[in-house]
Structure 1
Amino acid sequence: MIPPKPASRIGRASLLRHILLFRKDILSANPAHLYRAWMAEYRTPFFRSYLCNDPALVRRVLQERPEDFPKSDRLREGLAPLLGQSVFVTNGALWRRQRRIIDPAFEGGRLREIFPAMHAAGAAAVARLGGEVEVEEAMSHAAADVIFRTLFSIPIEDTLASAVFAEFRAYQRTQPLLNPAALLPLPRWMPRLHRRRTRASAARIRALIARLTEERVAAMARGAAPDDLVTRILAARDPETGDRFTPAEMVDQVAIFFLAGHETSASALAWALYLLATHPEVQERVAAEAELLGDAPDVAAVGRLGLVRDVFRETLRLYPPVPMMVRESRCPETMRGRQVEPGAQIVLSPWHLHRHERLWERPDAFDPDRWRSAESRASAREAFMPFSAGPRVCTGAAFAMIEGPLILAMIARAFRIEPVAGPPPVPVAHLTVRSATGIRLRFTPRG
């Protein structure tokens, strides 16, 4: 069974139609030839955009010369209400300072210390499952629980979880990956009017984060703060300047931790469960391997789950939570014989790269065993970047690759998972790749 994939755009499209299609869903707005093209150029009266699938160009932009291709300001407008000046949207010296303070909190030894909180969140997720479930919401709950336990040392309460889920769902559903400001030089008031609900939702999310951060600063002043990620980051100093994050700066960083660790993890886990439900033979193998976790696992136990890890990686290949990244060229470039001027938008698409017909065998098939072949390992080196690559690789990549396989294994060990009758879910891209109508599965306890 080939997993669902959105239909591609048929025929040419005017600039106005492009805007309308992109606001609805950027995945189905693009033509099918992008799954085999090395490069594509988009022209508007206001700027040029180049989608790059050539692995050599991707390496140039992300790894070899990242300073010449900073993050584009065209996407910052849509994310600023929630993320402010977080590490996800900044560039240059400010970004380097932020990474110097943040990165030590996510080193391997630190992840071992917070693993019990991850496991506790997984156990709570298993306890909540059973019967027919909308898994995007369930995995949002689970991922949010992981974030609250590892960041703030508190399990997420049901009332708080409902409020947070509602606000993040509202933010994601009302905020397209591209807004009009990314395509047209519109008056500043116009996109803001279009995003009134989004900005209000972002303000409520940030108010919650600000309250939690203020409480933690007070606890640190009393010497009563738990040793979790937020405490470590608030206490950390820039090794070059000795500066710390202010509480206001910390709100920006926690916002991206929550968005990256909650929305992206929820997306990946929901699609992984759907793939197991529709591939029962793989599911049974995963359930058998999950017994290796035992009753009180540690990080080393997760490392023994080779198949589960491959299932999670295959899910990230087929349904990368962040489907596209946009950089901006700072200097004249030549890309595959084309002259690229400064200011051009360079689009890197994990969605297309992970399904590229020239780089992967059976690119649309779900095949976790592919990760054990030499050919697929070569493809992965060239064309697999769910967490980006180079200096701007996601800080939480190692965190996600422990959290995802752990929770997936715990659920598969406890339940037999089956699809619910009805049409298959259709992937759409807002801030992450989700189903247009949700994903409903049935969970039956194993004997």
Structure 2
Amino acid sequence: MTLPPKPAARPDKVSLRRYIRLFRDDILSAQPARLYRAWMAEFRTPFFRSYLVNQPDLIRTVLRDRPDDFPKSNRISEGLRPLLGNSVFLTNGEAWKRQRRIIDPAFEGGRIKDTFPAMRAAAEACVSRLSEKTDQTVEIEAETSHAAADVIFRTLFSIPIDHQIAAQVFSRFRDYQRSAPILNLAAFVPLPNWVPRFHNRRTRRAARDIRSLITRLTADRQAAITDGTAPDDLAAKIMTTADPATGDIFGTDEMVDQVAIFFLAGHETSASALAWALYLVATHPDWQDKLAEEARALDTTADFAVLAQLKLSRDTFREALRLYPPVPMMVRETTCPETFRDRAVKPGAQVVLSPWHLHRQTRLWDNPDGFDPTRWHSENGKTCMREAFIPFSSGPRVCPGAGFAMVEGPLILSMILRAFRIEPVGPAPVPVAHLTVRSRAGIHLRLTRR
């Protein structure tokens, strides 16, 4: 069976007004088809130049070799600031480095291993919920969102998704998703700091409610830390870790910023990747059977060691991340004159790094639009994994939760396939980019008990 269609590409040349309208609706279909084969493309507006970079050595320069010269662009962050404040996702320079020094120890290998029981409990709860929906059509993105949010709350605060505050955060976040545009006006027009950012009322209200609820969780955890009764989870680890350079720890407001991005990045991206992974195996029954057979390892091994036996699931989840990277584009800004492919790039230019296009680059990948989890063991796949695979970014700004996601995703995928046979229902889903890459009308599957 063929994969879902790629978004319909726009013509190579459109007016700025038409491009902005397309971009705000869906950044994937706003791009011309030539970007799947181009090494670099330039886009001009009256206010700035934007360069989409699709060439591995240039991407390496921006993300790995000279990241300080290419900070995150504030143009893209403006739309997320009501929810994320000054979180590690948005900051640059010394503020970002300080935040990462405090956050990174919580996501080291040993700490991820410690979170495995909570992840497995969330996966079992997901299977239990799905058991009540067998032989029905299920919108699987809603289910993977629920499961991923459950993982975040269990690992971060040691509470399940049905905890009163956790449930409220999850509910309000769905409102935020529906109301928050992928881009704010500031992405296209340079605005002074004193000019309002025109976030709509519903977005502001949802962000305010989410942050208020997270503040309650954070304050309660700080009280438990003070009393010596806090569980040994990710929140406790982060809130008690001092910056080795300064001795500072996160205050309540700053911790709220970080929890907001952990929830957004850790829940939204994992939910997206897992939903697409389930659709891919639903459309490839031979792979589904292989994964179900492999998942029998979960019957005899309950701890972290089982992951070593879920190799096909890991390859399949990685292939879903390649074909449907949750974060389809990342934007950096030049701080000094550059030369890219013999073209002068001035300070202030926007450098767009697109996992969506890079992962399907026709000059780099064998069978770029095909579903093939075995590719990761071929010479082409190994090379591309090093040079052209960036679902979690790369270099110093690689997502601190990348290792976390590569445990959570294959585990939940295996748990679901161990219990159910799945098949697609209705038209093929069409990927669009909002906060992450989702389906325009949902992903509908039918589950039957194995």
- CA, structure 1 residues 189+378, in 2 after alignment: closer, same or farther (shift >3 Å)? same
Counterparts of 2:272 and 2:159, CA distance in 1: 23
Counterparts of 2:156 and 2:36, CA distance in 1: 38
Check whether the contact 1:288–1:413 (CA below 8 A) recurs between aligned residues: yes
Q: How far off is 1:18 after superposition?
A: 0.9
Is 1:282 paired with 2:319?
no
Letter in 1 for 2:437: V
Q: How does 1:160-239 map to 2 (within 5 A)?
A: 163-185=168-190, 192-239=197-244
Gaps of 5+ in 1: none
Q: How does 1:41-440 map to 2 (within 5 A)?
A: 41-129=42-130, 130-131=133-134, 132-157=137-162, 163-185=168-190, 192-420=197-425, 422-440=426-444
Counterparts of 1:357 and 1:338, CA distance in 2: 23
Check whether the contact 2:161–2:167 (CA below 8 A) recurs between aligned residues: no
Residue by residue over 1:94-116, the C-alpha shift from the partner in whole angstroms, topping out at 9 and shown as x without a partner, is 11100111101111111111110
Check whether the contact 2:328–2:433 (CA below 8 A) recurs between aligned residues: yes
Q: How far off is 1:20 after superposition?
A: 0.4
Q: How far off is 1:184 after superposition?
A: 1.6
Q: How far off is 1:348 after superposition?
A: 0.2
Gaps of 5+ in 2: none
> Over aligned residue pairs, what C-alpha RMSD do you find?
1.5
Counterparts of 2:41 and 2:12, CA distance in 1: 15
Partner of 2:447: 443
Is 1:34 paired with 2:38?
no
Check whether the contact 1:27–1:429 (CA below 8 A) recurs between aligned residues: yes
Partner of 1:14: 15
Residue by residue over 1:308-356, the C-alpha shift from the partner in whole angstroms, topping out at 9 and shown as x without a partner, is 1110000000000000000000000000011000000000000000011
Counterparts of 2:75 and 2:60, CA distance in 1: 22
Counterparts of 1:370 and 1:252, CA distance in 2: 38
Q: How far off is 1:296 after superposition?
A: 4.5
Check whether the contact 2:185–2:198 (CA below 8 A) recurs between aligned residues: no
- SS for the counterpart of 2:142 is helix
Letter in 2 for 1:425: P
Check whether the contact 1:19–1:180 (CA below 8 A) recurs between aligned residues: no
Counterparts of 1:161 and 1:139, CA distance in 2: 16
Partner of 1:3: 3
Letter in 2 for 1:347: V
- Per the normalisation by structure 1, the TM-score is 0.97
Check whether the contact 1:141–1:161 (CA below 8 A) recurs between aligned residues: no
Check whether the contact 2:184–2:198 (CA below 8 A) recurs between aligned residues: no
Q: Which deviates further from its counterpart, 191-200 or 246-255?
A: 191-200
Residue by residue over 1:72-106, the C-alpha shift from the partner in whole angstroms, topping out at 9 and shown as x without a partner, is 11112111101000001101111110011110111
Check whether the contact 1:2–1:364 (CA below 8 A) recurs between aligned residues: no
Q: How far off is 1:178 after superposition?
A: 2.3
Residue by residue over 1:237-281, the C-alpha shift from the partner in whole angstroms, topping out at 9 and shown as x without a partner, is 011111110011100000011011100000011111111111111
Counterparts of 1:228 and 1:128, CA distance in 2: 25
Check whether the contact 1:299–1:402 (CA below 8 A) recurs between aligned residues: no
Letter in 2 for 1:356: Q
Q: Which deviates further from its counterpart, 129-138 or 113-122?
A: 129-138
- SS for the counterpart of 2:327 is coil
Check whether the contact 1:180–1:191 (CA below 8 A) recurs between aligned residues: no
- SS for the counterpart of 1:133 is strand
Letter in 2 for 1:426: V
Counterparts of 1:286 and 1:296, CA distance in 2: 16
Q: How far off is 1:295 after superposition?
A: 4.5
Q: How far off is 1:205 after superposition?
A: 1.0
Q: How far off is 1:192 after superposition?
A: 4.0
Check whether the contact 1:181–1:191 (CA below 8 A) recurs between aligned residues: no
- CA, structure 1 residues 45+238, in 2 after alignment: closer, same or farther (shift >3 Å)? same
- CA, structure 1 residues 281+160, in 2 after alignment: closer, same or farther (shift >3 Å)? farther
Counterparts of 1:193 and 1:72, CA distance in 2: 18
Q: How far off is 1:187 after superposition?
A: 7.9
- SS for the counterpart of 1:74 is helix
- CA, structure 1 residues 15+207, in 2 after alignment: closer, same or farther (shift >3 Å)? same
